[in-house]
Amino acid sequence: MATSVVVAGTLIGYAMKKMEAPQNLSVFPTGEANTGYARYFTGQSWLAPLTSMKELNVPMSNVTFEPGCRNNWHSHSGGQILIAVGGAGYYQEKGKAARRLEPGDVVEIAPDVIHWHGAAPESWFSHLAIECNPQINNNAWLDPVTDAEYAEAVK
């Protein structure tokens, strides 16, 4: 009986943890659970759209990753810009060493470059993500970043 209570408590605690992201990780909103892209992520992420004026052609969101969370290998035909705003994370292009990201770091991702980004193992991470050339942009989602690839990238 005592064991059941502990297990139930742990499960409830885990479910609650999955629903919440720290609200003071950056000065930008954290938004909602990133369910739309969840199938392209390892771990839990959150998404807060920051713009809505379509004719500006600069769609921008704040993306928040729990520790260890990262997206799959992928590319954008229009390119992408990341602006690190909270916590610590990583960016890696296929075949290159990963780059650690801290608030203030800006990443320019050329069209069709295969890459991933996400949190450090020990830290939450938020970055603004700008979709470039949205008039022609398509995203190509590839394989997950394996635990071995991630461990090698962040070591």
Task: Provide the binding-site residues for a second copy, judged by CB under 8 A.
Answer: 26-29, 50-53, 55-58, 60, 78-81, 83, 85, 102-104, 106, 108, 110-111, 128, 130, 132-133
35 or 51: whose CB is closer to a second copy?
A: 51
Encoding tokens for residue 40? 């392209």
CB of 128 to a second copy, least distance (A): 8
Please measure the distance between the N-terminal and C-terminal CA atoms of the chain and give it in whole angstroms.
Answer: 42
CB of 31 to a second copy, least distance (A): 13
Q: Which of 76, 55, 80, 68 is nearest to 130 (CA)?
A: 80
Query: How would you classify the pairing of strands 115-119 and 60-65?
Result: unpaired
26 or 44: whose CB is closer to a second copy?
A: 26
